[in-house]
Amino acid sequence: MSDIYLLHNQIKHYEWGSYNFIPEFLGMENAERMPYAELWMGTHSGAPSQADVDGKLTDLKEISGELPFLFKLLAVDKPLSIQAHPNKEQAEKGFLKEEKNELSLKNPKRNYKDNNHKPEIICAITPLTLMAGFKEPEAIQRSLEELLTISPQLKEIGTVLNNALKTKSLKGFFDILYNISGFEREYFSSLFLDKELDKKNSVITPLEWALMKQFASAYPGDPAVISPLFLNTITLQSGRAVFIPAGILHAYLSGFGVELMTSSDNVLRGGLTPKHVDINELSNILNFTPFMPEVISPSSSEMFYYNTQEKEFSLYFINGDGRPKTYTKNGHSICLVMEGEIQTCGRSFKKGQSFYIHQKADENPVIFEGKFSLYAVSGSVMM
């Protein structure tokens, strides 16, 4: 029989987190009204899970080894910073450089917390809104031109930005935007606070304008307040997901979801945050090719695989209708029960609980029974 263990997971109380999503999902009160932002499931040193072994809590890593993935609940009440993650080569070089410079892992100016890449998939539990990937230069240009009609005072900087876009240079546009003067930054912010959008025949959508108004209010003087004009805005409905490769600029704005990534905490920020922003290093790792993430929609209500082409992790949604279901993913898995109650390997797990399975190729497959829904993550252990 496969080894199976109930997990006890750590929660991150970042200020952008929701007061309700995670506590309600776990069936607990939030009497202190703390923001619950993320729940981590895995072996990453930033918040490793513990496994219940015969009533005693043990670090999951001692049972599983170093898992290649990090699985999270993500609850967003306020927009996260605009950010991107490095590829494997960039992470290794950046981590080595900061280690040689003896920059502490706790230093707020540290960019690379480990030497791993961080592609990720986000799947909505509730409607979840995000920005991800540069728009086509022509689309950005049209939005900027409309902005100039709303505020002719922006003509000088708007012309410079548009000239970069005319040459198809998203990097040139990005570099110019992040080097505008303090006066121009402040004016961008005041524009959205002082004016309203004429919604008739507008290129800029009401959602984009509302986001820019929100950003300008929270982060006045940040050039990233106009990010909805150059990044794609997407709202995922429940069960739908997008995959964010390394190097893609993105920000999660609101909603509740599950997030799966390689086991890494490398984040390079580009604004909309009080935290450290290193635009030069961010620019070095960004992919400046226009990119619209594909929305992955489940094609089956019983079991669906969210195909990301990633070798280090796989995400599945499984819906139990009372009939036994065979789970045949050899290796290491973490399952999170979303609804109902599941029976497997002589154990029962209910909504909000997560468990770890180590299934070997020569063992009988694991059988899931009961009426439930869950997300299952699988991957091979890191050597």
3-state secondary structure of 123: strand
Q: Is residue 269 annotated as part of the catalytic site, yes or no?
A: yes
Give the active site residue among 33, 110, 185, 269: 269
3-state secondary structure of 130: strand
CB atoms within 10 A of CB 167: 10
- With tokens 């890494």, the residue in question is 264
| CB neighbour list of residue 135: distance below 8 Å, 6 or more residues apart | 229, 230, 231, 232, 290, 292
Report helix, strand or coil for 116.
coil
150 CB-contact burial (10 Å; exposed 0-12 / middle 13-18 / buried 19+): middle
Structure tokens belonging to residue 21: 């999503």
Query: What region, left, alpha or beta, does residue 201 occupy, with left being phi > 0 and alpha being psi -120 to 50 degrees?
Result: left
- CA 300 from chain center: how many Å? 24
Q: Which residues are catalytic?
A: 269
